[in-house]
């Protein structure tokens, strides 16, 4: 997000043309750069709706626009997903707890 700015430049040097007197105008050429906020959304999906105890779930975070720098998404289970600069998708694998006969009967 640039929030708008102005680009300004002047003539630094002139040569050639075989003029008797080439006068350089010192006035700058200015151009306004407008920018609007680009809303980017991150969404989370899982590769499975159901998994057996001890199975793996792959969580994927997806951006609607490419990341300009690395983006870290922290999940409520403490895991993180990194979406690399220039990409829109990152994922992590969550290993579900194995069956515990002492807790489950």
Mean pLDDT across 20-41: 87
Instruction: Report how far residue 57's alpha carbon sits from residue 93's, in angstroms, rounded to the nearest whole number.
Output: 6
Residue 52 CB neighbours (<10 A) = 9
Task: Return the H-helix or E-strand segment holding 78.
Answer: none
pLDDT confidence of residue 97: 86
Show Cβ contacts of residue 98 under 8 Å, excluding neighbours closer than 6 positions.
53, 54
pLDDT digits (tens, 9 = 90+) for 38-97: 789 999 999 999 999 999 999 999 999 999 999 999 999 999 999 999 999 999 999 988
pLDDT confidence of residue 105: 52
- Residue 46, token pair as written in the block: 């899982």
User: β-pairing, 80-83 with 71-74?
Assistant: antiparallel
Ranges of each domain in the chain: 42-96
**pTM reported for the whole predicted model:** 0.63
pLDDT digits (tens, 9 = 90+) for 83-101: 999 999 999 999 988 877 6
Q: Is the pLDDT score of 18 beyond 70?
A: yes
Q: What is the DSSP letter of 9?
A: E
Instruction: Report how far residue 91's alpha carbon sits from residue 80's, in angstroms, rounded to the nearest whole number.
Output: 9
């Amino acid at each position: 997000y640039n929030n708008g700015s102005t680009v300004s430049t002047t003539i630094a040097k002139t040569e050639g043309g075989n003029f008797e007197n080439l006068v350089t105008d010192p006035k700058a050429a200015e151009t306004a750069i407008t920018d609007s906020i680009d809303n980017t959304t991150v969404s989370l999906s899982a590769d499975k709706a159901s998994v057996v105890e001890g199975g793996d779930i792959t969580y994927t975070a997806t951006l609607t626009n490419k990341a300009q720098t690395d983006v870290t998404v922290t999940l409520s289970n403490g895991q993180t997903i990194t979406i690399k600069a220039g990409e829109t998708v990152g994922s992590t694998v969550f290993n579900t707890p194995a069956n515990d006969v002492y807790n489950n009967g």
